Amino acid sequence: MVIRDWSSDVCSSDLMNYDLTPGIQGICPEGWHVPTAAELCTLASYLDSTFNCNSYGWRGTNAGGKLKNTGFLNWNSPNTGATNESGFSGLGAGGRSYFGSFNNILSSGYFWSSTEYDSLYSIYIRLTNQQARVYYHYYQKTFGFSVRCLRDHWSELSIRHLSLAPAPYHHLPSSRGKICKILIKICNK
């Protein structure tokens, strides 16, 4: 297990490098990047042809189920539609609020994109134990959500062989009491 603490520079937007340009490394290791909203939409619409990226809210019919880890170790019951067909292995890690409290653990998994909605909000996707759909929307950047890194140059590969980091980044409250995202990457090597 490798633990990495970005506490010295994590309070700035430089950590995520919010941008519309694909390939922004952000908090990801060398050779990986935080996916843009377009890349997350490409993945979701490949998995579910009814997924529509042109508006916000609950989208598609079953992409969320194909992105979620199966079983009840990392999700509350009923974990609707979970097949993990994509290999994404989305977990119900919940989120961290602006005030430092954790919520929706085992019932929702939130994943940031690197795409800003505006200066205060960024686009994310949400998976939930109650639905097989994906919630596609924007939220305040001050909240702590998971990040799933995507291998650089993935567009050269078949969408079926998308390389995802082996484990999501998790968020912890700052030891300094600042409203920051301190992220820990857990790697199984």
pLDDT of residue 76: 98
Characterise 129 by phi-psi region: left (phi > 0), alpha (psi -120 to 50), beta (else): alpha
N residues, the chain: 189
pLDDT at 25: 84
Token pair recorded at residue 27: 């908090």
What is the overall mean pLDDT for the chain? 77
pLDDT of residue 26: 84
What is the spatial distance between Cα 187 and Cα 169, in angstroms, rounded to a whole number?
A: 9
In this predicted structure, the answer to whether residue 159 has a pLDDT above a threshold of 60 is no
How would DSSP label each residue in the chain? ------TTTTTSTTTTT--SSTT--TTSPTTEEPPPHHHHHHHHHHH-TT--TTS-EEE-SSHHHHHBPPSSSSS-TT-TT---TTS--B---BEE-TTS-EE-TTTEEEEEEEEESSSSEEEEEEEETT-SSEEEEEEETTSB-BB--EETTGGGS-GGG--B-SS-EEEE--TT--S--EEEE----
Evaluate if residue 165 carries a pLDDT over 90: no
pLDDT, tens digit (0-9, with 9 covering 90-100), for 104-136 = 999 999 999 999 999 999 999 999 999 999 999
Q: What is the pLDDT of residue 151?
A: 87
Question: pTM for the full model?
Answer: 0.74
pLDDT of residue 8: 34
More confident of the two residues 169 and 28: 28
For residue 27, is pLDDT > 90?
no
Residue for token pair 């929307």: 137
